Structure 1
């Protein structure tokens, strides 16, 4: 299997970025206007790409899994590497939480299943739900992501861009309910599907210099806009505007 060294570098950088995110959570304190709060917001926005980068690399690695093994083998590998650890550590936290937070509880399997389904055991496990959802969808997405003909992949990314990255973002920033079209376009606009597919697309596409430059400029503009808008709306609303850099 070919090794992509830029992904090794991205893994290192994204890991460092996660540390920055978890050490700048003062941004969520609603101490709007405070100089330390402003620095924390800048760090949060600047490094928010960490987990999406991991999602993109998962798509880059796994959406061509049929070149290496069949779908049954794919699910077996994902089961042992992700699903089993997810259930195991969810159970550990389910047992320990009452002792950590000094809350009496009546342990039973129904309560555990309900807590897993609603991510109420350990909220930091949210990424497991994204990744497992991606694995379940991978056999379908793998049919769309075709190296010889990227038309369907581009169509899916266009739908995702319009309905998630533009329309949904607009309504989230305005604290309004998501546009109702999302309920009918799940395959192209659900969860983090765009991250996984665009990761595969960038791995298998040679970009022209002008395309790279356009992406660099867009990235820098996005960071500047998100920092400014997060600070402005947080101060205006008197609480941290997390949705601005979603």
Structure 2
């Protein structure tokens, strides 16, 4: 990638990462049965889904870091804030309004919607919005908004390779290594929390964000590893997480735990960090091939990438759909199996996303045309 560039070049591998990660987010949410451990094959399948797709949010954070930590080379901090908060803030507000309205109006049609319907109102909406208690899968949006607030500080380090390495190592130690040690060693939580209480450095979100900025600016040792080896790395990490997840929840001992131990397959797991890095570099190495694709295919990739945000915003509505009334037939089709549910929920969500994007483009084109006509008439 270009180290100093006034205009950011489009990278198709980033578009593909957006698509793959949005698909993975759906995979994570159609396999929520993982939180109820059992000896059934369906639970093992849910564990496999979780392990294969846990990279989703880490990759989203890394993409954001790649795109934004060098913003000073393209525009001002004021422009950065206005642009990012308008895009993500409006998406968060619009998505929350949609969920709140549907949950309040049709509580029987969605899982746990009755909790909102029983206390709906303007004040209740504001309180729930501020506390992420409308749709808790939006936690990523809350996290990224806060990261935007500290991006002007992080962006000052992007051109200093050694400083970036220090920041990444610091956040990795606080958000990956310390939780790993706390999981397996009898460490006093109070002491650890007092030592590493700086919010932005014990945040796994900040770690991936900084890591993405570094990868977007500098070469890493993974750049020297071939694409097939990166694919093998992703596969090995995924299999290791599946085995670790099953073992830590008592599957192989024949006595599964009452509560699900999510740490082995989580974004703080060292295996997830490695898996996400292998996947990102695997697709990064395919950039030349992606640039050689026909224009029609590239256009389709751009559309699907643009719809990724909408997939994230609305897919949980389909996941939480309940078998009530006319929706019972749709529910039966979608829930026939986790694989079918994954594909159908993604396809429906991405179709809605593409439709919304198309409508926005049309409205923008009409607005531009009206403005041009008005300018001509004034002349």
In 1, Cα distance between equivalents of 2:120 and 2:222: 61
**Per-residue CA shift, 1:200-238, capped at 9, x if unaligned?**
11111223468647x947655543332122111223423
State whether structure 2 residue 185 is matched by structure 1 residue 171: no
In 1, Cα distance between equivalents of 2:77 and 2:28: 35
The answer to whether the Cα contact below 8 Å between 2:25 and 2:57 also exists between their aligned partners in 1 is yes
**Per-residue CA shift, 1:13-62, capped at 9, x if unaligned?**
222322322332332232x2211211210111111101211110011001
Pair 1:183–1:158, CA change in 2 (3 A): closer
Q: Which residue of 2 aligns with 1:233?
A: 248
In 2, Cα distance between equivalents of 1:35 and 1:5: 37
Q: Which residue of 2 aligns with 1:87?
A: 93
Pair 1:240–1:95, CA change in 2 (3 A): same
1:150: Cα distance to partner? 0.9
Pair 1:218–1:161, CA change in 2 (3 A): farther
State whether structure 2 residue 50 is matched by structure 1 residue 44: yes
SS of residue paired to 2:140: helix
The answer to whether the Cα contact below 8 Å between 1:130 and 1:191 also exists between their aligned partners in 2 is no
In 2, Cα distance between equivalents of 1:221 and 1:63: 31
Corresponding residue to 1:120 among 133, 157, 160:
133
1:242: Cα distance to partner? 1.6
Question: Whose radius of gyration is greater, 1 or 2?
Answer: 2
Corresponding residue to 2:146 among 127, 133, 138:
133
**Per-residue CA shift, 1:114-148, capped at 9, x if unaligned?**
212221111121111111111111111111221xx
How many residues are treated as equivalent by the alignment?
Answer: 241
TM-score (norm 2): 0.57
Alignment of structure 1 residues 22-37 onto 2, 5 Å: 22-30=29-37, 32-37=38-43
Q: Which residue of 2 aligns with 1:9?
A: 16
State whether structure 2 residue 230 is matched by structure 1 residue 224: no
1:106: Cα distance to partner? 5.4
1:172: Cα distance to partner? 4.8
State whether structure 2 residue 64 is matched by structure 1 residue 58: yes
Corresponding residue to 1:76 among 75, 82, 99:
82
Gaps spanning 5+ residues in structure 1: where?
none
Q: Which residue of 1 aligns with 2:274?
A: none
Q: Which residue of 2 aligns with 1:159?
A: 170
State whether structure 2 residue 121 is matched by structure 1 residue 107: yes
The answer to whether the Cα contact below 8 Å between 1:230 and 1:240 also exists between their aligned partners in 2 is no
Corresponding residue to 1:206 among 199, 212, 219:
219
State whether structure 2 residue 29 is matched by structure 1 residue 18: no
TM-score (norm 1): 0.85
Q: Indicate the RMSD between aligned Cα atoms, in angstroms.
A: 2.7
The answer to whether the Cα contact below 8 Å between 1:93 and 1:121 also exists between their aligned partners in 2 is yes
The answer to whether the Cα contact below 8 Å between 1:182 and 1:189 also exists between their aligned partners in 2 is no
In 2, Cα distance between equivalents of 1:164 and 1:245: 15
Gaps spanning 5+ residues in structure 2: where?
1-7, 108-112, 251-255, 267-379
In 2, Cα distance between equivalents of 1:6 and 1:209: 16
In 2, Cα distance between equivalents of 1:161 and 1:133: 19
In 2, Cα distance between equivalents of 1:191 and 1:220: 23
SS of residue paired to 2:200: helix
1:2: Cα distance to partner? 1.0
The answer to whether the Cα contact below 8 Å between 1:157 and 1:197 also exists between their aligned partners in 2 is yes
The answer to whether the Cα contact below 8 Å between 1:182 and 1:190 also exists between their aligned partners in 2 is no
